[in-house]
């Protein structure tokens, strides 16, 4: 009897507490708020499981000088505002939640940005975006060739790149002719 009383009370109280939490302004919705309990685990696990299922295993595109240069122009025009330039972080990228990783920043073991991620994973993220983050889906903004070119560039960010490629992703680079 007690058990059922507890169960029924729980069934009523739990949703009420949840409603109060939602409706009285306690949910962490501002960029500066601490993450929700298990927020990172849930979002990261879910994202990676989906990417493992869908991401192409291989790039149809070679890191040729032309592809790298076009990738750099796309990066400068569409990505640098959040992900930073070569040698300069983006002030806006830090103010997003989650933060936009700085894709030209070296970080441990010679990795630069996402150079340690499989190129298909980066392509998936560029194509589909990452929900509830500032990362847009570029599927309707770039064509598949362009999305591969920028992904191939980022996969090779830790390698020696041609000077014109680096110049294109430096701050103040001239816009496309
Ligand atoms: C409006 C800001 C914004 C723009 C523009 C933007 N991104 Fe992002 N991007 C983000 C944010 C924020 C994240 C972090 C998402 C997360 O951690 O869940 C992200 C994540 C990523 C990641 C995953 C990084 C990692 O560490 O796994 C890649 C790769 C990426 N973006 C590539 C690009 C490329 C390429 C472009 C341009 C074609 C681009 N982004 C444009 C905000 C942006």
Predicted local distance difference test score (pLDDT) of residue 5: 87
Compute the distance from residue 101 Cα to the ligand 1 centre, in Å: 7
State the Cα–Cα distance between residues 8 and 63, nearest whole angstrom.
62
Q: Extract long-range pairs of 42-49: CB within 8 Å, 24+ residues apart.
A: 43/132, 47/130
CA 109 to chain centre: 21
Compute the distance from residue 79 Cα to the ligand 1 centre, in Å: 7
Residue 134 CB–ligand 1 contact under 6 Å: yes
Judge contact between 3 and 11, C-beta under 8 A. Answer: no
Compute the distance from residue 136 Cα to the ligand 1 centre, in Å: 7
Predicted local distance difference test score (pLDDT) of residue 177: 46
pLDDT per position in the chain (177 positions), as tens? Answer: 788 888 988 899 999 998 998 899 988 999 999 988 898 898 899 999 999 999 999 999 999 999 999 999 999 999 999 999 999 999 999 999 999 999 999 998 999 999 999 999 999 999 999 999 999 999 999 999 999 999 999 999 999 999 999 999 999 866 654
Residue 85 CB–ligand 1 contact under 6 Å: no
Predicted local distance difference test score (pLDDT) of residue 121: 97
Residue 56 CB–ligand 1 contact under 6 Å: no
Give exposure, 4-30, as e/b (b: 16+ Cβ within 10 Å).
eeeeeeeeeeeeeeeeeeeeeeeeeee
| Residue whose CA lies nearest to ligand 1 atom number 29 | 122
State the Cα–Cα distance between residues 125 and 155, nearest whole angstrom.
13
* Cis bond before residue 3 (omega within 30° of 0): no
Residue 105 CB–ligand 1 contact under 6 Å: no
Structure-token pair, residue 74: 């796309």
Structure-token pair, residue 134: 């500032």
CA 111 to chain centre: 17
Residue 98 CB–ligand 1 contact under 6 Å: yes
Return the ligand 1 atom nearest residue 97 CA: 12
| Residue whose CA lies nearest to ligand 1 atom number 10 | 135
State the Cα–Cα distance between residues 37 and 28, nearest whole angstrom.
10
Residue 153 CB–ligand 1 contact under 6 Å: no
The residues, any chain, with a CB within 8 Å of residue 142's CB and separated by 6 or more, are: 74, 78, 126, 150
């Amino acid at each position: 009897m007690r058990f059922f009383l507890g169960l029924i009370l729980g069934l009523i109280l739990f949703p009420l507490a949840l409603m109060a939490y939602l409706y009285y302004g306690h949910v962490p919705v501002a960029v500066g708020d601490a993450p929700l309990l298990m927020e990172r685990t849930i979002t990261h696990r879910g994202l990676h499981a989906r990417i493992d299922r869908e991401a192409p295993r291989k790039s149809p595109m070679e890191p040729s000088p032309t592809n790298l240069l076009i990738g750099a122009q796309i990066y400068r025009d569409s990505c640098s505002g959040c992900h930073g330039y070569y040698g300069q972080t983006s002030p806006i990228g830090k103010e997003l939640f989650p933060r936009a990783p700085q894709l030209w920043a070296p970080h441990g073991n010679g990795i630069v940005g996402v150079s340690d991620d499989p190129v298909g994973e980066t392509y998936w993220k560029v194509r589909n975006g990452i929900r509830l983050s500032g990362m847009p889906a570029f599927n309707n903004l770039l064509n598949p060739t362009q999305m591969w070119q920028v992904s191939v560039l980022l996969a090779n960010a830790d390698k020696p790149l041609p000077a014109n490629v680096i110049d294109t992703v430096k701050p103040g680079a001239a816009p496309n002719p």
